[in-house]
Chains A and B, each alone.
Chain A
Amino acid sequence: MFRLLIPIALLAAAILAIVGADRPTPRADFTFLNRSDVTTLDFQQMSWQQDNRVARIIAEGLVSNDIFSHDFSVLPAAAERWEISPDLRTYTFHLRDTGWSNGTPVRASDFLYAWMRALLPDVGADYINFVQHIKGGRAFSDWRTAAVADFSRQHAASPDPAAAQELWLQTKNKFNQLVSARAVNDRTIVIELERPTPYFLDIVGFVTFFPLCESVVRRYESLDPASGRIKWNPDWTKPPNFITNGPFFVESWRFKRDLRLRRNPYYWNQAAIGIDTISIPTVEDPVSAVMAFETGAVDWVSDVLAPFRTEMVAQKAAFYKEHRAEYESLKAQGLDPVEIDRRLPPDPRKNIHVFPAFGTYFWNFNCSRTLPDGRINPLADPRVRRALTLATDKHAIADGIRRVGENIAPALIPPGSIGQYQSPKGLGFNPDEARRLLAEAGYPGGKGFITLDLLITKDGGHELIAQTLAKDWQRILGINTTISVQEVKVFRERLKNKNYMISRASWFGDYGDPTTFLEINRTGDGNNDRAYSNPEFDALLDKAALESDPTARFRILEDAERLLVEQDLPLLPIFYYVNMYLFDASKLTGISSHPRGIQLLYRADLFNDGKGTDKPLSLPPRKPGEPES
């Protein structure tokens, strides 16, 4: 018997050793749960919201946004000022005196190094086309693609490190030659653009443009002698190697456990920071995320996805109802919803926050002339698409199925998200007009119409929405439908190959300009899953690109969106997404309710923690009569 105890004791000791090696770190000043685990901390490769969110805490581009202003105005960041030429083609940025987290100064060349990296197809930047706004950017990428292909042909069988080194030097020279972004001196960058781009300031603040500490990051370059490609050894994003220029730096990254950030003492704007440490634990399960908040382990949950979130929203409505008089009077003052919640009495029910997001849920119509099986596609006729749209009861979906306070979407671009831009009215719910249009298209009462197939993915509640559409279209138009459920990867392939009739879809904007939603409908765009092509629409986008007056330009883009959502309907907008946050507004400030959805979490400040100014941050009150976003 005793003999048996020895291995068990050894096993127990091993277990304790493993657990003990992973000791939890002490609570940070501010702890939050990101939507999901970060996939990469390489700014040039990022595209997920959770990655961008961390990037904006640890690094800073030339400019940033005022997240507590209604128009999300552009603010100086790593650049303290800039000049724009009258033809909107040349931008001159003057960098401020600020430091990397290792104490060395941020130089103009650090930005150019990062941008060159983004333009190399080898790096795999999802947003390579953002950097290709710079004149010569695309030419440089194309040159590199061809050069690497050449090299691979020559050296695939006989790897040659010296030749790979030579190609890399050549690439750096080519960048200086071709790309019109120059460091005039250590603190000045001059950029010439391919064409006038009125929203370039918004783009240059995007994470793909974030700088890298060249003197450190270049040490991780590694050349493949067989293909001539360059790779960065992934250790460069691991602390302590990871040097950044933002308000915080990465102190430790324990994969799938937590990411810990500490205040960067060399950052220029220390006054904006009210905390010293930030912790971002990994909690993938949506129910556990809510429970982690309930136990007080975290201060902010960025995306509440628990299945009972509809009840949480209903509870909050009940809370407002109980405090109706006070709530109404605060609301009448035009206060930001976060500020209203802060002033209302403490109650756990008020911790859920539903704010509009910068994204839209819609359904794609395949606009190709023929269907995948070769039949004529009735959806190629805009009248049919308009009829299907007019016969869709969006309220039944937003209020009956989703039930998290999303507004129905008559148009594509979320209202109030982009300064002075006004989306068109779009089409409402009008069964009579829908029937008339379908008859006009040659299918009275749905006679002779094909059976429509609705393509969806398994999770995310799309099936209920598909059933609602099917019911509406059957009842109003007499059209029969089937529903196909696919795995995400298969779904994406079928969309890409236009091998579908109608599918669920969504889009989130990347920058503060209507083109971030409209360009995906241009003929041949890589994200135009609808195969939609209307020369008139493309011409409007081209015309807007040449318009230098911002107001006139917005009017042209409004016309383009009107064409999309009132006439051609390549897509059927259903509702605008919301962000669902979980935090106690009377304990935490610094979370913006702006529909653009970008958070600068280094602004987070906990009340009465002995750090920071404890000044509540929120959008300024709207004057009476001003439209609500």
Chain B
Amino acid sequence: MLGLILRRLIQLPIILAVIYTLTLTLAWRIPGNPLENPEGRRPAPEVVAAMKAQYRLDSFWSFYWSYLDNASGIKFLRDTLSGRAAEQARAAEAAGLAPPARLVFDLGPSLQYRDQRVNDIIASALPVSMALGATAILIALVLGVVAGVAGAVKPNSFADFLTLAIALIGISLPTFVIGAALLLVFPVLLGWGRIPSWGRPVDLLLPAFTLSLPFAAYIARLTRLGMIEQLQSDYIRTARAKGLSETSVLFKHALKNAFLPVLSYLGPAAAYAMTGSFVVERVFVIPGMGQHFVNAVQNKDLFLIIGVVLIYASMLIIFNLIVDVLYRWADPRIE
């Protein structure tokens, strides 16, 4: 187990370096000038030239290496070890300047929000998306497992069709429709909840419910399939023959095995839910990561694009690792 974790953690920076190279190559090819507004006045040519040089946007390789240097923490280490950082801090203090900001993994400035660092943007947005995503996954687990078990107990019964119908609606109705409808019913018409839906624990319920629906639907279908398969196996017949109660058979024996496919789905699902949903966050006005994925690409905000992609990739890798660990713990047959 420890070997697995170690191996994966060593792989992590290598995978991230490859993803960084691919992302930058693609993002660099996005047409247009990130320093120019989409509408209205164009900045003067000398201003554009100076800004390009400042952000190293005039050469791919210069950008590639300087970003890698800053973001990987190598520059931080170098400056600390060579004593340059201390020297700079002293010089700044002597000149009466504010001490220069130092970040271990410096992801650079945002080109669209010029007063913000990508590190600060992610630090302010990621916990929000993670809280929302985790709540949504919890809700999805409860809804999905209950619906899946209910459907599996009597396949092709009315309850089964009902859960299937609800699951289909959950998968096929776009979240912006459900979200807008919930907003209209609860805060606007009934006066429960507020817009923006962020800042109090209760505010989380509507957006988390909206976000959970597609996941719940998927989990319900996975659970149902697994349960039907398990309920036909021999050990269940044995358990029933022993005279165990039906609840005990369903939840203690069948569900434990039927849950494995759900568990392997949960890794990527959690990473996906917790790195933010553009639509849900936009409709409910939640300051999460989702908006940055879309806006950064539209604005060709290179630093922010790479920053959010690297964060998403890291989370995907880490959640998959957690799932693998849980898997071994739940199913000793897996080596």
Seen from chain A, the residues whose Cβ lies within 8 Å of a Cβ on chain B are 8, 11-12, 14-16, 18-24, 37, 39-42, 45, 47-48, 121-122, 124-129, 141-142, 145, 148, 152, 161, 218-222, 227, 229, 231, 233-235, 237-238, 241, 254-257, 281-285, 287-288, 291-292, 294-295, 297, 487-490, 492-493, 496, 506-508, 510, 526-527
A255–B101 CB distance below 8 A:
no
B125–A256 CB distance below 8 A:
yes
Nearest CB on A from B12, distance (A): 22
| Among listed B14-22, B30-38, B311-319, interface-contacting one | B30-38
Query: Does any Cβ of A come within 8 Å of B307's Cβ?
Result: no
B124–A19 CB distance below 8 A:
no
* A16 to B201 CA separation, bound complex (whole angstroms): 6
* A234 to B183 CA separation, bound complex (whole angstroms): 36
Nearest CB on B from A349, distance (A): 16
Asked whether A124 and B53 contact (CB < 8 A) given A19-B199, A291-B183, A291-B188, the answer is no
A487–B31 CB distance below 8 A:
yes
Contacts of B194 in A (CB 8 A): 295, 297
Tell me which of B35, B101, B200 contacts A233 (CB under 8 A): B101
* A291 to B257 CA separation, bound complex (whole angstroms): 46
Contacts of A488 in B (CB 8 A): 32, 38-39, 298
* A283 to B39 CA separation, bound complex (whole angstroms): 21
Contacts of A8 in B (CB 8 A): 138
Q: Which residue of B lies closest to A142 (CB)?
A: B46
Nearest CB on B from A308, distance (A): 11
Query: Does any Cβ of A come within 8 Å of B287's Cβ?
Result: yes
B97–A527 CB distance below 8 A:
no
Contacts of A126 in B (CB 8 A): 37, 41, 43, 47
Contacts of A288 in B (CB 8 A): 183, 195-196, 282-285
B187–A255 CB distance below 8 A:
no
Nearest CB on B from A237, distance (A): 5
Asked whether A234 and B46 contact (CB < 8 A) given A291-B195, A292-B285, A297-B194, the answer is no
Tell me which of B41, B97, B127 contacts A18 (CB under 8 A): B127
Asked whether A18 and B196 contact (CB < 8 A) given A152-B53, A292-B285, A489-B31, the answer is no
B47–A40 CB distance below 8 A:
no
| Among listed B71-79, B115-123, B230-238, interface-contacting one | B115-123
* A227 to B55 CA separation, bound complex (whole angstroms): 12
Contacts of A295 in B (CB 8 A): 187-188, 191, 194-195
| Among listed B128-136, B145-153, B260-268, interface-contacting one | B128-136
* A215 to B220 CA separation, bound complex (whole angstroms): 63
A124–B50 CB distance below 8 A:
yes
Query: Does any Cβ of A come within 8 Å of B59's Cβ?
Result: no
B54–A39 CB distance below 8 A:
no
* A428 to B72 CA separation, bound complex (whole angstroms): 63
Tell me which of A39, A47, A238, A297 contacts B40 (CB under 8 A): A47
Contacts of B40 in A (CB 8 A): 47, 506-508
* A145 to B48 CA separation, bound complex (whole angstroms): 11
A493–B31 CB distance below 8 A:
yes
Give 14 CB contacts A-B under 8 Å.
A20-B201, A121-B51, A145-B50, A148-B50, A218-B97, A229-B50, A283-B195, A285-B282, A291-B184, A487-B32, A489-B31, A489-B300, A490-B31, A506-B40
Q: Which residue of A lies closest to B282 (CB)?
A: A285
Query: Does any Cβ of A come within 8 Å of B81's Cβ?
Result: no
A234–B124 CB distance below 8 A:
no
Seen from chain B, the residues whose Cβ lies within 8 Å of a Cβ on chain A are 30-33, 35-47, 49-51, 53-54, 88, 91-92, 96-98, 100-101, 109, 112-117, 120-121, 124-125, 127-128, 130-131, 134-135, 138, 180, 183-184, 187-188, 191, 194-196, 198-201, 203-204, 282-285, 287, 291, 298, 300
Q: Which residue of A lies closest to B98 (CB)?
A: A219
Tell me which of A19, A127, A219, A490 contacts B200 (CB under 8 A): A19
Tell me which of B38, B43, B187 contacts A489 (CB under 8 A): B38
Asked whether A257 and B134 contact (CB < 8 A) given A18-B127, A126-B43, A492-B32, the answer is no
Contacts of A493 in B (CB 8 A): 31-33
Contacts of A234 in B (CB 8 A): 109, 114-117
Contacts of A125 in B (CB 8 A): 43, 47
Asked whether A231 and B54 contact (CB < 8 A) given A15-B204, A129-B44, A489-B300, the answer is yes
Tell me which of A16, A45, A254 contacts B114 (CB under 8 A): A45
Contacts of B120 in A (CB 8 A): 255
* A218 to B37 CA separation, bound complex (whole angstroms): 28
A229–B53 CB distance below 8 A:
yes
Contacts of B184 in A (CB 8 A): 291
* A227 to B49 CA separation, bound complex (whole angstroms): 13
Contacts of B38 in A (CB 8 A): 488-489, 492
A256–B41 CB distance below 8 A:
no
Contacts of B196 in A (CB 8 A): 257, 281-283, 288, 292, 297
Contacts of A284 in B (CB 8 A): 282, 285, 291
Contacts of B31 in A (CB 8 A): 487, 489-490, 493
A39–B47 CB distance below 8 A:
no
A489–B30 CB distance below 8 A:
yes
Contacts of B284 in A (CB 8 A): 288
Nearest CB on A from B114, distance (A): 4
Contacts of A18 in B (CB 8 A): 127-128, 130-131
Contacts of B97 in A (CB 8 A): 218-222
Tell me which of A238, A506, A507 contacts B115 (CB under 8 A): A238
A19–B204 CB distance below 8 A:
yes
* A255 to B298 CA separation, bound complex (whole angstroms): 19
Nearest CB on A from B163, distance (A): 23
Tell me which of A124, A237, A508 contacts B47 (CB under 8 A): A124
B283–A287 CB distance below 8 A:
yes
A41–B115 CB distance below 8 A:
yes
Contacts of A129 in B (CB 8 A): 44
Asked whether A219 and B96 contact (CB < 8 A) given A152-B53, A287-B180, A488-B298, the answer is yes
Asked whether A141 and B198 contact (CB < 8 A) given A39-B114, A492-B36, the answer is no
